[in-house]
Amino acid sequence: MSALKLAVIIGSVREGRFGPVVAEWFTEHARGHGAFEVDVIDLAEAHLPLALPAVSPALEPNPERPDGMLELTERLAAADAFVIVTPDYNRSIPAALKAAIDWHFTQWDAKAIGFVGYSGASGGLLAIEHLRQIFNELNAHTVRNYVSFPRYYLLFDAEGRLREPDEPAAAALAMLDQLQWWADALAAARTVSAVA
């Protein structure tokens, strides 16, 4: 069987963001896991206007999208599973990440989703819990396990390496195992029929 396609999405786009450091750490583990062909999607490279199309993507699965979003749409469509790397922004998710989600619909349908969160005290958990609600509406399955980095600035050194890497590595492995199981099951199910 061919490898499952896993898209790792960097959810923050602001100048000086920490997201790429966390994404790089996770991507190394995802590639090392062996079950996935990994694509790293940086939302900062996509054009993501907040003004959505006139008709909801839920009703019109192929709305006209800006040229600068077309590559993102194709890469989301190609993925069997996603891992969203997200900080907490005011106890929720970055606006660019919400826009990327809302501009799409079928691209999330019946796919497996995992999370890596980081921020201050809450470690991305508030964003992760919001994302579980959001992806439920999109017929996606969010896996139970996750990785969280509370006060990430104490956990990573200046070179972007974890000071104590073992526990986060074990958390990443547990999540990747669950993601593999669900992505496999959902990929097989998608070949039989569309989600009701």
Ligand X SMILES: Cc1cc2nc3c(=O)[nH]c(=O)nc-3n(C[C@H](O)[C@H](O)[C@H](O)COP(=O)(O)O)c2cc1C
Residues of this chain that interact with ligand X (CB under 6 A) are 12, 14, 17-19, 87-91, 119-122
Residue 135: what are its φ and ψ, rounded to 5°? -75, -20
Residue 74: CB minimum distance to ligand X, A = 25
| Burial of 192 per CB tally in 10 Å (0-12, 13-18, 19+) | exposed
Name the minimum Å distance from CB 137 to ligand X: 22
Shortest reach from residue 170's CB to ligand X, in Å: 23
**Identity of the residue, 64 or 157, whose beta carbon is nearer to ligand X in the bound complex:** 157
**Least distance from ligand X to the Cβ atom of residue 27, Å:** 15
User: Which residues, 6+ apart, have CB-to-CB distance to 144 below 8 Å?
Assistant: 178
Number of residues assigned to the chain: 196
Which residue's CB is nearer to ligand X, number 66 or number 120?
120
Residue 121 or 154: the one with the smaller Cβ distance to ligand X is 121
Q: For residues 88 and 129, which CB has a smaller minimum distance to ligand X in the complex?
A: 88
* C-beta atoms surrounding 122 within 10 Å: 18
Cβ(38)–Cβ(6) under 8 Å?
yes
